[in-house]
A = this chain, B = another copy of it.
Amino acid sequence: MSDKGSPIGVFDSGIGGLTVVREIMRQLPDEKIVYFGDTARVPYGNKSQETVTRYSEQIVRFLEANQVKAIVVACNTASAVALAELERKSDIPMIGVVKPGAKVAADTTRNGKIGIIGTEVTVSSGIYSRYITKLNNKATVIGKACPLFVPLVEEGLLHDEVTDEIARRYLSELIATGIDTLILGCTHYPLIRSTVGKIMGKDVTLVNPAYETAMELKELLGRNQLLNITNSAAPAVDVASDRTADRYKGETLHANEMALEEDRYRFYVSDGAEKFKKFAASIIKYGFLSAKIVNIEEY
């Protein structure tokens, strides 16, 4: 049985979901987190709905075995095509990143033209458009898949002319439509938001769904009497939250190590724990950020 002291489960196809984890650390500093990154089977963004759903179900079973009190699907692709099925099969309260991101975008736009960039699966699912037009039936949503962004980020080319060139190609048609708001619809993309921001120009607001996801998680826990507010620990991290991404700073996050108990954050991956450690350090500066390997196919 889970209670207020139980951890929150967070998962992603790989390491991008750590951009959501750091936002939960900021906004819910008393909560424990169990993170799973499916690094053996990354990327999800070009796989079929059936495969993404099957993989996600295995991860949910792993998180259930870790007695989590709630689950955050910190992967846009899985949120887009698998969340409904996951919710149907589990009793654990669950949220994805798509609905919160859609809400911020609908609130933010002034001219009603919203762009969404993400993986092939996320963009072709049309799910952001469905959520946004429910909130604002005058909004127009234009999607663009950017399949090379994830490998470029994973290669560490965060500030590089090649990434600039690929981004210019992907984004040019979005610029032409006159959008004033752009959703970073993949958890890897906040890591190249300075590149995206530079190309889109200062009149386009970038939306990082991570902030609103952590907000919505807080509400969900409150509604289910699962919010952990017994401690009064300092925030685990020392960087202010950013609802709409500040594109020129804050791409990494420094943990306040003093405030961290040894066991508060646990990280699991399906492959390459050493590589995870290295990459994770570029997202969250954290003294003892290491991951254990899980054979996820057994779940």
Interface residue ranges, A against B (CB under 8 Å): 40-41, 46-48, 51, 54, 147-148, 151-152, 154-155, 161-162, 165-166, 270-272, 275, 293, 295, 297
- A275 contacts B46, CB within 8 Å? yes
User: Which 7 A-B pairs have CB atoms at the shortest separation, nearest pair first?
Assistant: A151-B151, A51-B271, A40-B51, A47-B271, A48-B271, A297-B297, A41-B41
- B155 contacts A46, CB within 8 Å? no
Which chain B residue has the least Cβ–Cβ distance from A298? B297
Which chain B residue has the least Cβ–Cβ distance from A39? B47
Given contacts A40-B41, A41-B41, list 5 more A-B pairs with CB under 8 A.
A40-B47, A46-B272, A148-B155, A161-B165, A162-B162
Oligomer: number of copies: 2
In Å, the complex CA distance between A151 and B155 comes to 11
Q: Tell me how far the C-beta of A296 lies from the nearest C-beta in chain B, rounded to whole angstroms.
A: 10
In Å, the complex CA distance between A161 and B275 comes to 29
In Å, the complex CA distance between A182 and B40 comes to 29
Name the one of B40, B162, B297 contacting A166, with C-beta atoms under 8 angstroms.
Answer: B162
Which chain B residue has the least Cβ–Cβ distance from A274? B48
Contacts of A54 in B (CB 8 A): 295
- B48 contacts A272, CB within 8 Å? yes
In Å, the complex CA distance between A15 and B113 comes to 38
Name the one of B46, B148, B270 contacting A152, with C-beta atoms under 8 angstroms.
Answer: B148
Q: Tell me how far the C-beta of A129 lies from the nearest C-beta in chain B, rounded to whole angstroms.
A: 23
- A47 contacts B162, CB within 8 Å? no
In Å, the complex CA distance between A270 and B297 comes to 14
Contacts of A148 in B (CB 8 A): 151-152, 155
In Å, the complex CA distance between A52 and B12 comes to 21
Contacts of A155 in B (CB 8 A): 147-148
In Å, the complex CA distance between A147 and B271 comes to 17
In Å, the complex CA distance between A272 and B297 comes to 20
16 contacts between A and B (CB under 8 A): A41-B41, A46-B272, A47-B271, A47-B272, A48-B272, A48-B293, A51-B270, A54-B295, A147-B151, A147-B154, A148-B151, A148-B152, A148-B155, A151-B151, A162-B165, A162-B166
